[in-house]
Amino acid sequence: MDKNLIGKIKITGKIICKTGLHIGASKENVEIGTIDSPVVRDPITREPYIPGSSIKGKMRSLLEKALAIQLGILGSNNRRNIGTKNNPVYIHVCDDAEKAIKCPICRLFGSTGKDGGKNFPARLIVRDANLTKESIEKLNNIDTGLQYTEWKFENAIDRVTSSANPRQLERVPRGAEFEFEIIYNVEDEETLQEDIDNLSLAIELLKLDALGGHGSRGYGKVEINFEEIVSIPINDLKTGKAEFPKFTDFSNTADIIKVFSQSGA
Ligand SMILES: [Zn+2]
């Protein structure tokens, strides 16, 4: 499928941790004798960050739930297991690009083809969110024995044996702030309004849910503050135009997308 690019919508802002945040690093990177469950960090600066894939994955699953009945993707209907047999994780993925372009979930978040079907690359790019300069300075001064983070004991109960399984979890403390950036690729006018409405809905749902692990224990509550939403038509980029329409939130999506229509260009 040939993809057309009409423009970009760039959304920037801050993710503010309202409660401790735990986004786990893979076990392979853990040194022996350290904390049980560490957070993911930049390998060079050692600063914790929020991987774009974590933000995008959470937004996808929340939007999927919100549109499940509308799209007929309840249960294992039209969904794929990306987990294991014992720990299944079902997500909706269209099997072919022709279906994906008509699907509000796959259009935004992408799909991988199955049984000979073609991939549909995501229209959304979600960048890794790094700590703000202020937060780096602030967190560098906390004295917890860890760099930029705190640790917390959690007592998990083994569901089979009922035995207590205390473990140490590392988390980014409440108040930490991260810079976020999301790019939406404008590929056609027909689906633009629906995509932007769904993107806005996914961000709102994220505020009412949790990022990272242990959300049900209170971890990962975030506030998301927009800095700006910029509408950038490709034709204006080609002519070297430097100023683009800017908005402070999604309250008027009609204005955000107006610049991409032929009559409004
Ligand atoms: Zn789909």
| Residue 244 CA to ligand 1 centre (angstroms) | 32
| Residue 78 CA to ligand 1 centre (angstroms) | 8
| Residue 256 CA to ligand 1 centre (angstroms) | 25
- What pLDDT, in 10s, does the model give residues 248-257? 999 999 999 9
Determine whether 133 is exposed, middle or buried from the number of CB atoms within 10 Å of its CB (0-12, 13-18, 19+).
exposed
Q: Does residue 57 lie within any of the structural domains?
A: no
> DSSP assignment, residue 48?
B
Q: How many CA atoms lie within 13 A of 35 on its CB side?
A: 22
| Residue 120 CA to ligand 1 centre (angstroms) | 10
Kindly report the pTM of this predicted structure: 0.89
On the question of pLDDT at 29 being above 60, the answer is no
Domain holding 165, by residue range, is 7-52+124-258
Q: Does residue 183 lie within any of the structural domains?
A: yes
On the question of pLDDT at 86 being above 70, the answer is yes
Q: Does residue 80 lie within any of the structural domains?
A: no
Determine the pLDDT at residue 152.
Answer: 84
Look over the chain and give the mean of its residue pLDDT values, rounded to a whole number.
89
Interval 190-206 mean pLDDT: 96
* pLDDT grade for 265, boundaries at 50, 70 and 90: very low
| Residue 201 CA to ligand 1 centre (angstroms) | 17
Q: Does residue 243 lie within any of the structural domains?
A: yes
Q: Does residue 84 lie within any of the structural domains?
A: no
Determine the pLDDT at residue 167.
Answer: 78
CB 235 within 8 A of CB 262: no
Q: Does residue 194 lie within any of the structural domains?
A: yes
Number of domains in the chain: 1
User: Which has the minimum average pLDDT: 67-81, 181-195, 209-223?
Assistant: 67-81
Residue 155: which of 100, 241, 214 has the closest Cα? 214
Q: Please indicate whether residue 80 or residue 27 has the higher confidence score (pLDDT).
A: 80
- What pLDDT, in 10s, does the model give residues 45-67? 999 999 999 999 999 999 999 99
Q: Does residue 1 lie within any of the structural domains?
A: no
Q: How many CA atoms lie within 13 A of 92 on its CB side?
A: 28
Q: Does residue 24 lie within any of the structural domains?
A: yes
Q: Please indicate whether residue 173 or residue 3 has the higher confidence score (pLDDT).
A: 173
| Residue 99 CA to ligand 1 centre (angstroms) | 7
DSSP-derived 3-state class of residue 171 = strand
On the question of pLDDT at 185 being above 50, the answer is yes
